[in-house]
Structure 1
């Protein structure tokens, strides 16, 4: 049964995840079809079904572990395949996949955030360069545009510090944080580690 990031449709790269069984030889078992996953989820009352059929019965090998994989080709680390408590076994794999998607989609903004940024941009441009056919002296306010941009920069820096702190608390590395900051790991660490 797949797991899709809520903003995946806005990403140029597909991100749909699955938990698959890792076979004793280290290869990944084929992921279950939708029907197989639904049947396993219902039979075992699971929230996220992985290939429980690799339990060593019916001539199939017993899974040596499980891992999350993604449509984009990413594979997470192997975790214990716990047949007695499959939902708990899945928790680590789901966390791995969520971490992967957050890092790879760091620059993919939800539409409402993109729209808010666009609205602010348009408002400042309108103060700076009012529409020529509607030009009124009180609409041409370049000094107000300077002040608005200054306030926006201060707000952005404050929000950036808060977001970096939240990312560190969530367990993201300095290298992962540097990616959306569009800087190096070292620069990100030097700038934000003191705060």
Structure 2
């Protein structure tokens, strides 16, 4: 997989963002690389694999693997040819299809454990998305698209908090079980469950 500077995502499972992870020669996973940008106490932090080249006192990675925001790590290890990386002088040109393929398989498993929407509802949601996409192709329909989005937000604001409240009642499922059913990480699921307050129908401000 090339051109992966922004990470890997799949529609419907955005919280399971994937990236290329790295390992050092001893099999350990290094922490983030920090860059002093010369702005006082602020340091830029990065886990981009190409920064682990051992230069400028950075950790030296010898291999890569798939990595997901949920904590999953790929079992397959792929050696990094730093001579090739330096020769191309473009990290996006380096072949990371192995780690990407392993992450994609992981996402297939996540999707397989997630709850399935009723077929008619899934088809309806697909039609809504396709219709909205068509509206965005016509500048005369932008207001219509925005109005439709507002209507959808009202629906979500009513249904989402109610479902979250019912799910988090005493003796209900655990957060990990809910996260698995939603196809989310636990962090994302907790954020979703905490969104229990619907949008106000009337603004308090003029």
- TM-score with structure 2 length normalisation? 0.40
Using CA pairs below 8 Å that are at least 6 residues apart, which structure has the higher relative contact order?
2
- TM-score with structure 1 length normalisation? 0.42
Larger C-alpha radius of gyration, 1 or 2? 1
